[in-house]
């Protein structure tokens, strides 16, 4: 028998920038980012979320004006592509076909850039197309939501929904760069704002108690969308996310553990069950409440910690329960999540605020009891409820 063995490694590096008004003609950030790929004029296709364009109708003119002001680094190689915003762009082939057609019609090559401007779903769809076209185009992400800027736009994954399964087809493809422009948040609908905070709570719960304490102390300012605390929250959450990717030892998730997916096993299923009525961040908030309660009843966290977790989620204006949870088949959802992981079931639970533990088995009877208890505690605070805008603390305020 003859054997040939090969081993090689590739170094990945990208930066996440924080700015305001990136398309102001006097702002050099985008131009200098493009020039990192070589001192020449680079061909760029811009794809913009339709929802962002509705809130900011001047955006296309701003992009065109910026390109005209920076001919040394940027040439728009085609009309600005408008992609339907929201999870619908990841369902079916319509949006994907439109993006791929624009890539080929405008003769983009592996040295060209796609700049994706929008929410997490649009970043996913455009990022997927950028990763598979010519086996990889250069992608610059410009997330326009809190969720995108602190989590979804930071990572190395792209995905679309196939056969009714969320992110069942996708790639691992690091972006060339990420530009977080806080000005995009100025016109963000309140519900989108709140949904994005869930991922910051998640990261704080599993990685950083001091960050959790910051969120808890500033929760009313965050709920009121005060710019300075919001920007600090986004920066710290993004830093934690990048630290995990860079130092966690498994950036492309070759193993079964996904420690950044705390609360996600049920959240993914709730999104599917509600047909997208429940936003990703809202579903994650419910999922975190469920897994925090399970961690408490498993003797892994104290009651005082559980109270602080629930108070923070509620005071940020996020739901702790949704009626779809009552119809959740726990066994089936866990099995689907195990399949999504591609191996052994691995669920992240809490051993304290800022501390986590990965387990390979869930007591489904206990989890079902946790579902029932959440319904009793918070059945009135659902999406569309009048109480959601000003939620009362679940257990009363605590210091």
- Residue 343, pLDDT > 80, answer no
CA distances from 389 to 86, 187, 202, 317, 384 (A): 22, 18, 21, 6, 9
Cβ neighbours for 62, distance < 8 A, ≥ 6 positions apart: 23
**Domains present along the chain, CATH in parentheses:** 15-187 (3.40.50.1970), 190-378 (1.20.1090.10)
CA distance 207 to 352: 10
Cβ neighbours for 129, distance < 8 A, ≥ 6 positions apart: 96, 99, 100, 103, 114
Euclidean distance between the first and final Cα of the chain, in Å?
69
pLDDT category at 249 given cuts 50, 70, 90 is low
Nearest CA to 314 out of 264, 374, 265, 381 is that of 381
> H-helix or E-strand containing 42?
strand 42-49
Cβ neighbours for 68, distance < 8 A, ≥ 6 positions apart: none
- At 96 the pLDDT is 94
- At 345 the pLDDT is 87
Q: What is the largest CA-CA distance in the chain?
A: 71
CA distance 96 to 98: 5
Q: What's this model's pTM, rounded to 2 decimal places?
A: 0.88
- At 164 the pLDDT is 79
Give the length of the chain: 399
pLDDT category at 378 given cuts 50, 70, 90 is low
Interval 251-270: pLDDT, tens: 776 654 555 789 999 998 99
CA distance 236 to 241: 9
Asked if 113 and 44 touch (Cβ cutoff 8 Å), the reply is yes
Q: Average the pLDDT over 95-101 and give the result.
A: 95
Q: Average the pLDDT over 159-181 and give the result.
A: 90
CA distance 250 to 320: 31
Q: Average the pLDDT over 284-292 and give the result.
A: 96
CA distance 258 to 205: 15
Q: Average the pLDDT over 118-147 and give the result.
A: 96
Cβ neighbours for 171, distance < 8 A, ≥ 6 positions apart: 127, 128, 131, 132, 157, 158, 159
pLDDT category at 152 given cuts 50, 70, 90 is confident
DSSP labels, 164-216: TEEEEEEEE---SEEEEEGGGGGG--HHHHHHHHHHHHHHHHHH-HHHHHHHH
CA distance 96 to 44: 18
8-12, 17-21, 52-56, 191-195: segment of lowest average pLDDT: 8-12
CA distances from 363 to 154, 208, 260, 338, 366 (A): 33, 27, 21, 15, 5
Angle at 114 (CA atoms; ends 109, 119), nearest 5 degrees = 150
């Amino acid at each position: 028998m003859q054997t040939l063995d090969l081993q090689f490694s590739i170094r990945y590096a990208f930066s996440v920038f924080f700015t305001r008004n990136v398309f102001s003609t006097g702002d050099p950030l985008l131009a200098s980012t493009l020039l990192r790929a070589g001192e020449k004029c680079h061909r760029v296709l811009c794809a913009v979320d339709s929802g962002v364009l509705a809130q900011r109708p001047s955006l296309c003119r701003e992009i065109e004006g910026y390109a005209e002001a920076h001919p040394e680094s940027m040439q728009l190689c085609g009309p600005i592509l408008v992609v339907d915003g929201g999870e619908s762009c990841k369902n079916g082939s319509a949006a994907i076909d439109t993006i791929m057609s624009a890539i080929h019609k405008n003769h983009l090559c592996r040295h060209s850039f796609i700049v994706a401007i929008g929410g997490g779903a649009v970043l996913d769809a455009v990022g997927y197309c950028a990763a598979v076209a010519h086996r990889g185009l250069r992608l610059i992400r410009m997330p326009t939501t809190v969720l995108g800027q602190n989590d979804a736009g930071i990572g190395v994954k792209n995905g679309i929904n196939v056969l009714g399964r969320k992110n069942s087809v996708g790639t691992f493809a690091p972006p060339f760069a990420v530009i977080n422009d806080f000005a995009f948040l100025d016109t963000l609908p309140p519900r989108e704002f709140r949904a994005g905070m869930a991922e910051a709570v998640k990261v704080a719960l599993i990685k950083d108690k001091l960050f959790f304490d910051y969120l808890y102390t500033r929760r009313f300012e965050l709920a009121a969308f005060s710019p300075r605390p919001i920007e600090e929250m986004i920066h710290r959450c993004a830093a934690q996310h990048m630290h995990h990717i860079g130092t966690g030892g498994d950036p492309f998730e070759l193993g079964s553990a996904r420690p950044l997916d705390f609360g996600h096993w049920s959240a993914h299923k709730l999104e599917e069950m509600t047909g997208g009525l429940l936003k990703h961040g809202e579903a994650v908030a419910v999922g975190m409440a469920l897994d925090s309660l399970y961690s408490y009843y498993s003797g892994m966290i104290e009651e005082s910690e559980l109270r602080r977790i629930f108070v923070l989620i509620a005071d940020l204006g996020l739901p702790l329960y949704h009626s779809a949870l009552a119809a959740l088949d726990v066994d089936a959802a866990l099995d689907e999540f195990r399949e999504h992981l591609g191996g052994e079931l691995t669920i992240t639970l809490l051993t304290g605020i800022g501390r986590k533990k990965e387990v390979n088995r869930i007591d489904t009877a206990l989890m079902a009891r946790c579902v029932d208890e959440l319904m009793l505690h918070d059945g009135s605070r659902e999406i569309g409820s009048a109480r959601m805008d000003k939620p009362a603390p679940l257990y009363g305020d605590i210091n």
